[in-house]
Amino acid sequence: MIPRPSKRQLDAEARLRPPMQVPPQHPAHGRDARDGRAHGHGATPPQPAAPGAKGPRLEERLRTVCRLRHYSHRTEDAYWMWSRQFILFHGKRHPLEMGAPEVRDFLTHLAMERNVSASTQAQALNAIVFLYEQVLGREAGEFADFERATRAKKVPVVLSAGEVRAVLARLDGTARCMALLLYGAGLRILECARLRVKDVDFARNVITLQDTKGGRGRVTMLPEAAREAVRAQLRTARALFDADRAAGAPGVQLPDAFAVKSPGAATSWAWFWVFPSPVISRDPRSGTERRHHVHEDNIQRAVKRAAQEAGIAKNVTPHVLRHSFATHLLENGQDIRTVQELLGHKDVSTTMIYTHVLNKPGLGVRSPLD
C-alpha cells in the first residue's frame, strides 16, 4: 500500500510550485476581475517559502492572492467559504490530494442535493478553480460533465407608480433618501451606500458612480424630487464628519492604493460618505477602526417594512425599486439603449428582461370568463 503523503509534505510541495498565470477571461478571475475592477493581473504573485520553512495556512494564502488581485472583500470571503466547503465535503482532505473527480462530485452535490441556483454553482466553480490554479499552482483538471443547476428564467418584480409612492411615504430619514435614489436614479443598493460627497453634483443634476458592479463607472441623473432629501442627508453626514475630525478619528476607507497616492483624501469632506454609518466599525482587512458607510441591511429592512405597512402583497426589496425605475422609463417611451446606460448594464440583453414586464400576453383578446 502506497503511504499517503503528510499534510506538511503537501504544503511544502504547494509552496515550491510556482503559481500559474490564468488569462483574464478565465472564470477563475471572477466577475470583478474580468470586468476590469481588478488591476492586479500583472501583480507579482506570492513568492514560495524557503524549503523547510513553515508556510502560511491555506486560508491566509488564498486571501493574500485575492488582495494582490484587488478582489473585493465579499469575493474574498465567498472564495474561501466555497473552498472550505469543498474541503469539508471530502472529509477534510487537502485539495492537493484531490482533483477533477472530487471537484465534479462536489459541484454535482450542490445541484442535486442542495438544489442551489445556477449562479451559486458557478460561483463555487470559480472559487475552486481559483484555489487550484492561483493559490496552489496546479490544474484543477477536466470536470465538464458535472450536473449543472438549471438557470430559472424569472421576470423581475415591479411596483406600479402608486405602489412606489406608498412605499416612499412610509420611509423617513436616511432610508427615504436612499430609496429616492434607488427608484429615481436606478442605483444598486451598494452603489447608493458607497456614494461619496464628491459624487453628487447639484449644479449639473448628476450623480457620478465609480464604485460599481464590475468597476464600470457611469453617470446617472440626480432627480429633482430627491435634491432636498440629499441636501438634508449631507447635513447629517457633515455633523458626523466634523465629530470624527474633532476626535482625531482615522479617515474613511479609500479605493485600492489611492490612500498611498493621496493620504489626505481619507480625512477630506469630498471623500466622506453621503450615507455614513452612525457607529464606528473595524475594517476587516486592516483592523483600523473607522467610520464605514451605512450597512445595506438597514435599507432592506426599512423597505420591506414599508411595503408591508402599505399592504403590498409582493416580495418588495430595495432592488425592486431599481426594477421599477427601468420599467417605468420604458413605459414612458425611453429607448432601451438609454435605459441600459443608466442602469450600467454591460450588455443590452440584460436590460431586455424589462421588456418582458411590458409585454401583456393576449392583449386585445377577450377572456371567455368575461
Mean of pLDDT over the chain: 82
CB 334 within 8 A of CB 221: no
What's the rounded Cα separation, in Å, for the pair 207 and 209?
6
Over residues 171-179, mean pLDDT: 96
Domain closes at, from 70, 101, 136: 136
What's the pLDDT band for 20 if we cut at 50, 70, 90? Answer: very low
DSSP letter for each residue of 85-123: HHHHHTTT--GGG--HHHHHHHHHHHHHTS---HHHHHH
Residues 98 and 171 in one domain: no
What's the rounded Cα separation, in Å, for the pair 146 and 131?
18
Identify whether 242 is part of a domain. yes
pLDDT value for 268: 96
Over residues 261-277, mean pLDDT: 93
Reduced to 3 states (helix: H, G, I; strand: E, B; else coil), residue 196 is strand
Residues 130 and 172 in one domain: no
Residues 43 and 188 in one domain: no
Residues 74 and 170 in one domain: no
Residues 169 and 277 in one domain: yes
What's the rounded Cα separation, in Å, for the pair 221 and 282?
33
Low-confidence winner among 170-179, 191-200, 207-216 (lowest mean pLDDT):
207-216
From residue 209, how far is each of 35, 206, 293, 369 by CA, in Å? 16, 10, 15, 50
pLDDT digits (tens, 9 = 90+) for 87-110: 999 999 999 899 888 998 999 999
Residues 240 and 336 in one domain: yes
Residues 124 and 237 in one domain: no
Phi and psi angles of residue 237, each rounded to the nearest 5 degrees, phi first: -65, -40
Residues 124 and 252 in one domain: no
Question: Where in the sequence numbering do the catalytic residues fall?
Answer: 188, 213, 319, 322, 345, 354
User: Dihedral angle at the C-alpha atoms of 159, 195, 123, 86, nearest 10 degrees?
Assistant: -120
pLDDT value for 252: 92
Strand partners, 281: 290
Strands (E), the chain: 200-201, 206-209, 218-221, 276-282, 289-293
Domain closes at, from 81, 102, 136: 136
Q: What is the Cα gyration radius of the chain?
A: 24
CA 123 from centroid of its chain's CA atoms:
12
Over residues 267-275, mean pLDDT: 96
Residues 108 and 210 in one domain: no
Residue 126 pLDDT greater than 60, yes or no: yes
Identify whether 311 is part of a domain. yes
Helix (H) or strand (E) holding 331: helix 318-331
pLDDT digits (tens, 9 = 90+) for 27-83: 444 444 334 333 334 444 444 333 334 557 999 999 999 988 878 888 999 999 999
Identify whether 141 is part of a domain. no
Residues 197 and 290 in one domain: yes
CB 187 within 8 A of CB 319: no
Phi and psi angles of residue 207, each rounded to the nearest 5 degrees, phi first: -120, 125
Residues 210 and 352 in one domain: yes
Phi and psi angles of residue 213, each rounded to the nearest 5 degrees, phi first: -65, 120
What is the grid cell recorded at 134? 492561483
Identify whether 142 is part of a domain. no
What's the rounded Cα separation, in Å, for the pair 209 and 191?
7
Identify whether 151 is part of a domain. no
From residue 47, how far is each of 18, 52, 196, 286 by CA, in Å? 8, 15, 37, 22
pLDDT value for 73: 83
Identify whether 153 is part of a domain. no
The total number of structural domains in the chain stands at 2
pLDDT value for 354: 82
Residues 187 and 281 in one domain: yes
Residues spanned by the domain of 336: 161-358
Residue 8 pLDDT greater than 50, yes or no: no
CATH at residue 54: 1.10.150.130
